[in-house]
Amino acid sequence: MSYTLSQLGQETSRRFAELLATTGLEPRQFALLGAVARQEGQSQQAVAGQVAIPTSTMVALVDHLEEEGLIERRPHPSDRRTRMLHLTSKGSSALDKATLLAGNWEASLCAGFNPSERSRLLELLGRVADNLGLDLLYYVS
Amino acid sequence: MSYTLSQLGQETSRRFAELLATTGLEPRQFALLGAVARQEGQSQQAVAGQVAIPTSTMVALVDHLEEEGLIERRPHPSDRRTRMLHLTSKGSSALDKATLLAGNWEASLCAGFNPSERSRLLELLGRVADNLGLDLLYYVS
DNA sequence: TATTGTTATACTCTATAACTATA
DNA sequence: TATAGTTATAGAGTATAACAATA
């Protein structure tokens, strides 16, 4: 079971990353764009906390996405230290595209499952997560 | 589903590595010892293939395990290039200990599952693996 | 000429902590 | 004095290819 979960988890991550690469995004960038989209105008540190990366790493990540024209750093009106992060229209459409891809990926994982089988699997996995004391955040259900 | 599997896989790996560390072993070392135990006297390259690491990485890995007295390099009787890998008695008992730990870990993941639930979960995961065209090697069932 | 093991090198990734400018 | 962002540096890990001995 442990081996199965590890292998499946690793393989789904790896292949989703491959699929996502067709949009020019890495998984972490996808997560970052999603976090910015959920609430525009957040500081870099706020977003860094949500995607669980150190702020120093955040800088290069944002640099890159800004160079690609997917997000913007805008000055904070009252605090000149902080940069507010916003999606550009290009970033927004990239996120939409990646989100669509993620949906397809979900579907392909569960190909041949009927709804009750799919929810049964999620329920059993949820119990494993409980046994680990892990609470999963369902960005994508 | 994809997110759930990724998170669960990553977390089970991470925590098992932590647990395993109490025996002084890393997961890769555990895998290597297991491969050697399955058939003693294999060459480094043969074992490297089984644990899926490049031969250059293998050298330092074997160096370390040899320094710790867990495995031995022995000369091949007819080919002076190859080194035959063997478990020492210390290595054998370390492997036994780690294997026991892995069994406990398996059990704790499925705590509260009755046998049919457990096999149902494995079956559903197997179907996901099929959808990925992935065939899982069950070292530990 | 090919193969086993070894070594060296270069590269990525990341974490830590120092630094700046603001507050 | 504390905080947001930035930069610099150092460390782990890994992959690549060159190398020596042997086949």
Q: For A73-114, what is each residue's pLDDT tens digit?
A: 999 999 999 999 999 999 999 999 999 999 999 999 999 999
pLDDT for residue A141 is more than 60: no
Confidence of residue A136 (pLDDT cuts 50, 70, 90): confident
pLDDT for residue B141 is more than 50: no
**Closest residue to A5, CB basis, from B8, B111, B112:** B8
Give the span between the Cα atoms of A51 and B47, in whole angstroms.
Answer: 38
Q: Report, as an integer, the average pLDDT of B22-50.
A: 95
Q: What pLDDT is stored for residue B139 in this prediction? A: 44
Q: Which tokens sit at A73?
A: 């750093």
Q: Report, as an integer, the average pLDDT of B108-137.
A: 92
Q: Report, as an integer, the average pLDDT of B70-82.
A: 96
In chain A, which residue's Cα lies nearest the Cα of B7?
A9
Nucleotides of C under 7 A from a protein CB: 3-8, 14-18, 21-23
Å between B44 CA and C7 C1'? Answer: 16
Q: A105–B2: do the CB atoms touch at under 8 Å? A: yes
Nucleotides of D under 7 A from a protein CB: 3-8, 14-18, 21-23
How many residues make up chain A in this entry? 141
Dump pLDDT digits (tens) for B14-23.
Answer: 999 999 999 9
Nearest by Cα to B32 from B61, B54, B55: B61
pLDDT for residue A116 is more than 50: yes
Residue burial A58-73, b: 16+ Cβ < 10 Å; e: rest: beebbeebbeeebbbe
3-state SS record for B43-96:
EHHHHHHHHCCCHHHHHHHHHHHHHCCCEEEEECCCCCCCEEEEECHHHHHHHH
Instruction: Name the residue closest to the C1' of C3 by its CA.
Output: B81
Q: What pLDDT is stored for residue A63 in this prediction? A: 95
Q: B128–A121: do the CB atoms touch at under 8 Å? A: yes
pLDDT for residue B136 is more than 70: yes
Q: Report, as an integer, the average pLDDT of B57-65.
A: 95
pLDDT for residue B69 is more than 70: yes
Confidence of residue A137 (pLDDT cuts 50, 70, 90): low
Backbone angles phi, psi at B85, to 5 degrees: -95, 130
Å between B56 CA and D14 C1'? Answer: 10
The overall pTM is greater than 0.75: yes
Q: What pLDDT is stored for residue B138 in this prediction? A: 54
Percent of all residues in chain B with a pLDDT value above 90, rounded to a whole number: 89
Q: What pLDDT is stored for residue B140 in this prediction? A: 38
Q: Which nucleotide is nearest to B82 (CA to C1')?
A: C4
Q: How many C-beta neighbours within 10 Å does residue A54 have?
A: 8
Å between A48 CA and D2 C1'? Answer: 19
**Are A110 and B128 in contact, with CB atoms under 8 Å apart?**
yes
Dump pLDDT digits (tens) for A30-49.
Answer: 999 999 999 999 999 999 99
Instruction: Name the residue closest to the C1' of D3 by its CA.
Output: A81
pLDDT for residue A140 is more than 50: no
Confidence of residue B137 (pLDDT cuts 50, 70, 90): low
Round the average pLDDT of chain A to a whole number and report it: 93
Round the average pLDDT of chain B to a whole number and report it: 93
pLDDT for residue B56 is more than 80: yes
Dump pLDDT digits (tens) for B88-113.
Answer: 999 999 999 999 999 999 999 999 99
Å between B117 CA and D12 C1'? Answer: 41
Q: Considering only CB atoms, which chain A residues are within 8 Å of B124?
A: 113, 117, 120-121, 124
